[in-house]
Amino acid sequence: MEEAEQSRYVAQLKAEFDSCDTTATGFLDQDELTALCRKLQLDAHLPPLLHTLLGGRSYARVNFQEFKEGFVSVLSRSLDFSTSEDDSSYLEPVVPEEVKPKFVKGAKRYGRRSRPDADPLTRDSEDSSLSRAEAADSSPGGVRRAKLRRSTSLESVESLKSDDEAGSQKPDFQSKGTSSIASSTGQEEVEEGGMPGGGGGGGGGGHVLTALCDHLGLQQLNTQELDSLLRKLDAGLDGRVSIRDFQKVLCGSAPISCSTPIRASLSLLEECSVRSTSPSLLTATVGQRVLSRLDDGSGCTSPERVIALWTEEGIRNSRDILQTLDFPLEERLSLADLTLALDNELLVGGNGLQQAALISYKNELQVVAEQACCERDKVRADLDLANQRNLKLVREVDDRHVTTETLNQSRIRELEQDFRDRLASLRSQSEQENEAQLQLAERERCSLQDELRLLRAQEAELQEDLCSVTQENSRLEDELSVVKLKLTEAQSSVNKLHRDMDQLLQHKVTLQTQQQTHNNRHTSTYTHQQTHINIHTNDELSSELLKSQKRDRKSRRSAGDANDATALSWTEPHTVNTVLDSVVSGPGVSIQTELALEQLKHNHNQELQQLHIQLDTQVNYYERSLELMRQSMEVERKDIAQVFKLEISELEENKAQAEQQVKQLKETLEKLQTEIQHGGGGGWGSEQERRVQWERAELEQNFAREIGNLVHKLSAEKDQLEAELQLKLDQEVMLVRLEEVRSENGALQERLSVLQQEVQNLEDDVAKKRRKLDETQREHERSREEEERLIRENSRCREEVLVLSSRNLQLSNDNAELSARLRGDQESVRMLQERLATVSKEQEEERATVRELVLFTPDPVHNWCCLLCLKRDAARADSALGLLHVQQAARQQQAGDGRQVEQLQRLLLEGQRRSQTLEDTLKLQAQQSSVMQEQYEKAAASLRQRTEDLETKLNGVRSVLQEKVQQLKDQLTKNAKSSSLLKDVYVENAQLMAALQVTEQRQKKAEKKNVALEEKVGALNKLLREIVPAALAT
């Protein structure tokens, strides 16, 4: 129950301790300790408790075990008491004056706490001394009060034993007859009471006699009795009384003829003998009273139990003996009174048989005393050895705990230093590798930049070639415009010729209608042919222009593809380098991290090799593509130049043909003019001439209008085609960019999914490590609880050892008391032997006297005296026999004490073996806990390092993800802008398509008009062919 209650209190204290532990580490700092003390209402003990726990270190932290030990030590120092948990008789001190303890062990202190009182105890003056003694011995309250008046330490018991030993040696049994016990008792009481007397001659005055009577319990004597006693004793009338005379008066009041004490006349002497420090014969040999095993705690027992005990021992007249000793059978029997009665009976008479029995018991008591002394010394030596061994074991356990803690701390510091060195070396190695990778990436970047500069230079060359081609196109367009101007000049000359012809026809309209009709037909046919030739020429020029635009578009598209491939070739290693930097940036510490780094390095090297191979292939491909583009551009340029040359030659031929036609027309007009001039007389009518002029003017207007429309339509178509070409080029560029953005988005999404998967894997790994760390912490907590349980068991064993030590100390004290009693018994035996020798001597003298009397005076009176002497001898023999029985009971009691000592020794040995077993178990548990602590610390350090690595990697991956997300956001905004621009381009394209359809419709209408114009020109030519022969015929 006490252990359960103590465990409950410790659990409550642990709960309060944990409630103040805000960091959940099992340690408290100064502020948390202050809060805990205030919660426990220990404000008065706060400074010493903080000083005990923390010392001068304000930053130190304390666990629960250190707090509990400091808490107990501070409270044990602050409280002013020292009680034992197993001894209920240590209740309170007699006097408040304290002395230094005799022995101190931890929180236990052994010895007196106060000095003994030298003043004699007094009784109440109204009651008789016998009734007060019987009441004090028979009532349990009196027993408790007597126990409460005793001292609370072992030193007080030792002082009482020394007093008993000193008192047991004081009485001098040299008196004769039945007055010896009374005289010795009265003499000691008187001498003891006469110690305060003033005279050195052994006398005292009236006030001294009064004080002595008060001390001896004679308060019932009145003043007259005291005055008569003083006058009787003061023979010299000087006011002084001799102690010996006072002793004789007191001893002379006792009768001599009866062997049993008379209670009515000797109540004062019995009272004095009960309270006196000089014990009687039985109290000196067997203790304070006989039959102590029948004592129920009140100092009394029932007569039936005494009678039953004596009957078991073979005494048949037990009831008669009690009645002879004047003890009623109906009331409870006081063991102290029974002891005093038996003591008086033993000292009354004796014979040779009693002397022999006493000598035998004396020898046996000496042997028993020697054995008890030897056993006591052996027990003391064993106890001292056990105490020394326990102290040594305690010191060894403490030293081993200290050495274990220091060794653990040193190992922890060495491991921390080793891990710090390894971490520093790994960091330096990773930094060197990062620098090497960065330098390698920088070199690759420089080489790629050089290649990019070369590609840009090639692109610049291609741009220059394209500019030259566009300049050539512009030159050709200029030449085309010049040709068109020449064509317009030719048309204007044709118009002029038509006007001249019209003037000539006006003169010959009436005369040469048929010839004019024939000429008109011929002119219309020629005009129709010329128009077809011009249309064919325009179609060829538009087709050539479309071909040149297509070639220009192909060249631009190939240049854009080269730029896109270059950008892609630059983007891929940059992405790989970014991923490599994000992977390498997290320094690894554990073996798994090193393996992962090696794997990443190997993968990175492979990726770099693949990228080098891809870059070489792409460079070779781009070089071949550029060479092919150069060749194709050269071929196209030559083709375009040849086409332009052919077109220019064709245009020149057309120009020559037009000039030839103009010349023919001029010749025809001249011929017509000459014919008209030669014809002279003949002519058309005015109506025909007006009709011909009107038709010719209409035809000329229509022809000029159609030529202007054709020129305008050609210029509009040229502008439209150029705008359409530029729009298509822009659309293709936008589509290429859109494809690039889509591919980049797909790659970024794939990379994002891969990074998310890596993050998920890292989080799973971190969760596993955390679960493992929690399990390790729980295992460490269980081991720590087991260690605390063992520590509590060890402390309990220490307490048991202390209890056994105190029990051994008590046993040693009991052995000392038994030794003192044994010495008292030996002294009693010696005195009994002397008494028996004296009695035997007296018996011999009396027998000799009786024999002489029988021989000389055969008187029945003398025979009756001899009979009385024989009866007295028989009584003495009986008393000696009773004494022998008492001594035998004392011997049996001492044998029982020896068995108890042996049992306690066995218990002590068993406790020592148990303590040794627990210490071995504690050592084993301490070793296991130290090993588990080292393993836990190693695992915790590796887990912490792994967690830090994973956190760094996770932070790196998160930063990369944030960057990629930001890039994706930017790319999405760009895509949104591109999509909006693409929508605008699509709208413009739709508008251009609508405009193109309108242009085609207009072209169709123009073609229809051309067809109608051609029909009209044919009709005019037909008319000219009809008119000219008629005119020529006339």
Q: What is the pLDDT of residues 6-43, one digit of tens each?
A: 788 888 888 888 888 888 788 888 888 888 888 888 88
Of 224-228, 588-592, 895-899, the least confident? 588-592
Percent of the chain with pLDDT over 90: 0
In the chain, the percentage of residues whose pLDDT exceeds 70 is 46
Contact between 700 and 506 under an 8 Å Cβ cutoff? The reply is: no
Instruction: Return d(Cα 368, Cα 403) in angstroms, integer.
Output: 50
Q: What residues does each domain of the chain span?
A: 2-79
Encoded tokens for 341: 């009665």
Q: Which of 73, 284, 105, 2 is nearest to 809 (CA)?
A: 105
Residue 1033 pLDDT level (bands cut at 50, 70, 90): low
Q: Is 662 exposed, middle or buried (0-12, 13-18, 19+ CB in 10 A)?
A: middle
> Whole-angstrom Cα distance, residue 349 to residue 840?
11
The confidence band for 575, taking pLDDT boundaries of 50, 70 and 90, is: very low
Apex CA 762: angle with CA 760 and CA 763, to 5°?
Answer: 65
Q: What is the pLDDT of residue 144?
A: 35
Closest CA to 625 of 670, 718, 559, 679: 559
Task: Name the band, by pLDDT with cuts 50, 70 and 90, for residue 195.
Answer: very low
Contact 870, 344 (CB under 8 A): no
CA angle 939, 943, 949 (to 5 degrees): 150
CB 33 within 8 A of CB 67: yes
- In the structure encoding, which two tokens stand for residue 282, read together? 């039985």
Q: Give pLDDT tens digits for 876-888.
A: 666 665 666 666 6
pLDDT digits (tens, 9 = 90+) for 749-796: 677 777 777 777 777 877 787 787 778 778 777 877 877 777 787 777
**Over 80: is that where the pLDDT of 412 sits?**
yes
Render the burial of 969-1001: b for 16+ CB within 10 Å, e for the rest. eebeeebeebeeebeebeeebeebeeebeebee
pLDDT-wise least confident of 46-55, 389-398, 525-534, 989-998: 525-534
Higher pLDDT, 87 or 107: 107
> Can you tell me the distance from the alpha carbon of 353 to that of 341, in angstroms, rounded to the nearest whole number?
22
What average pLDDT does the segment 454-470 reach?
A: 79
Per-residue pLDDT band at 76 (split at 50, 70, 90)? confident
DSSP, res 103: E
Which tens digits make up the pLDDT trace of 492-542? 766 776 676 666 666 665 555 565 556 556 655 665 666 666 666 666 666
Paired with 241 in beta bridges are 204
Over the stretch 834-861, which tens digit does the pLDDT of each residue have? 777 777 677 677 667 656 655 554 444 5
Q: 613, exposed or middle or buried, with CB in 10 Å at 0-12, 13-18, 19+?
A: exposed
The pTM of this model reads 0.23
3-state SS class at 100 = coil
**108-110 and 203-204: which strand pairing?**
unpaired
pLDDT at 417 over 70: yes
pLDDT band at 108 (very low <50, low <70, confident <90, very high): low
The answer, yes or no, to whether residue 915 has pLDDT greater than 50, is yes
The pLDDT assigned to 685 comes to 53
Longest CA–CA span in the chain (Å) reads: 252
Q: What is the mean pLDDT of residues 132-152?
A: 36
Coil/strand/helix, residue 488: helix
Q: How far is CA 646 from CA 265, 534, 639, in A?
A: 180, 16, 10
User: pLDDT tens digits for 815-829?
Assistant: 677 767 777 776 766
Cβ distance 327 to 857 under 8 Å? no
Which of 1.10.645.10, 3.30.565.10, 1.10.238.10, 3.40.50.970 would CATH assign to domain 2-79? 1.10.238.10
Question: How many helical (H) and strand (E) elements, i.e. helices and strands, does the chain have?
Answer: 21, 6
Average pLDDT over residues 204-227: 56
Distance from C-alpha of 626 to C-alpha of 587, rounded to nearest angstrom: 45
Three-state SS at 301:
strand
SS3 946: helix
Whole-angstrom CA distances from 639 to 139, 472, 646 are: 149, 12, 10
Residue with tokens 């000799």: 848
Name the residue with tokens 């006006």. Answer: 506
- CA-only gyration radius of the chain, Å: 73
Q: What integer best gives the mean pLDDT of the chain?
A: 66
Tens digits of residue pLDDT in 695-729: 667 766 766 676 667 667 666 766 776 776 677 66
Greater pLDDT, 122 or 606: 606
> DSSP character for 266?
S
68-72, 122-126, 910-914: the lowest-pLDDT one = 122-126
The confidence score (pLDDT) of residue 85 equals 41
- Mean pLDDT over residues 1005-1030, rounded? 76
Handedness of CA 287, 290, 296, 297 (dihedral sign): negative
| pLDDT > 50? residue 141 | no
Alpha-carbon span 930 to 400, nearest angstrom: 12
